Chain A
């Protein structure tokens, strides 16, 4: 399951609490067939980046997220313990739960998916209420991210 109901509920709570900033985080899993699951809410440092260098980072946190490198280091340490990044989530503010061109661009490294096995979950938050959620996966055939069923196993 991409996100269990209790995990999606935690994402909803985070997304609404951090509104009007985009929220972000990952789900790490380890083992099969019943993997350990660790939902790791992350800090969006987009506003700090914008304040430091508005030319390089023209967006603020209402339209972009940038996971705190300290959280990325934590993710890396978990990966070294056998976890994998199963889901990467973030919120969109007052717009739909779609995989934006920016999402796509940042999900690629030299044209290849950075996390080819991960599911990207986008939740839409409108007026501080989560109104929609959608999931996207890399499709090698079309070489693009395509929608997938959020509740699929």
Chain B
């Protein structure tokens, strides 16, 4: 079975700028395994060395986060669309304060 995987901008260096790739896999874990075989530079970007998905990365099957499904064991079927979405985050001063003056930039 073949599923379409959406590759976000931050990870496209690892896929030779491909924004979509087709992968055959029975579940999300198998899909990530196969992705890392085909695109070795993805190793470490999506999962840590223990094979766990980084906390700043979300994976969706169609429109559903895998956290709300069966996680890495979420089964895939032909035609599914998987999206790998890294966090977009930031923030101001540290918890202890110490940011620049109000007029800083």
Chain A residues packing against B (C-beta within 8 Å): 22, 24, 26, 42, 46, 56, 58-59, 63-67, 69, 72-73, 75-76, 79-80, 84-85, 88, 90, 92-98, 100-103, 106-107, 109-110, 112, 114-115, 122, 124, 126, 131-132, 134, 147
Residues of B with C-beta under 8 A to A73:
58, 60, 63, 83, 85
Q: B44 to A110, Cβ gap below 8 A?
A: yes
Chain B residues packing against A (C-beta within 8 Å): 6, 8-11, 13, 19-20, 44-45, 55, 58, 60, 63, 65, 83, 85-95, 99-105
Given A66-B88, A69-B85, A94-B102; 14 other pairs, CB 8 A cutoff: A24-B88, A56-B55, A63-B91, A64-B90, A67-B88, A76-B85, A79-B8, A92-B93, A95-B99, A95-B100, A98-B104, A102-B94, A126-B102, A132-B103
25 contacts between A and B (CB under 8 A): A24-B88, A58-B95, A64-B91, A67-B89, A69-B60, A69-B87, A73-B83, A75-B88, A76-B8, A80-B19, A80-B20, A88-B88, A90-B90, A95-B100, A95-B102, A96-B99, A98-B100, A102-B94, A103-B90, A109-B11, A109-B45, A114-B10, A114-B88, A115-B10, A132-B102
Measured CB to CB, the closest approach of chain A to B80, in angstroms, equals 15
Within the assembled complex, what's the spacing in Å between the Cα atoms of A80 and B9? Answer: 10
Residues of A with C-beta under 8 A to B103:
96, 132
Within the assembled complex, what's the spacing in Å between the Cα atoms of A103 and B99? Answer: 12
Total A-B pairs in contact (CB under 8 Å)?
Answer: 124
Residues of A with C-beta under 8 A to B65:
69
**Do A92 and B88 form a contact, CB below 8 Å, given A73-B60, A76-B6, A98-B105?**
no
Q: B9 to A63, Cβ gap below 8 A?
A: no
Secondary structure of the B contact surface, majority rule: loop
Residues of B with C-beta under 8 A to A98:
99-100, 104-105
Quick one: which of A58, A69, A90, A92 contacts B99, CB cutoff 8 A?
A92
Measured CB to CB, the closest approach of chain B to A43, in angstroms, equals 12
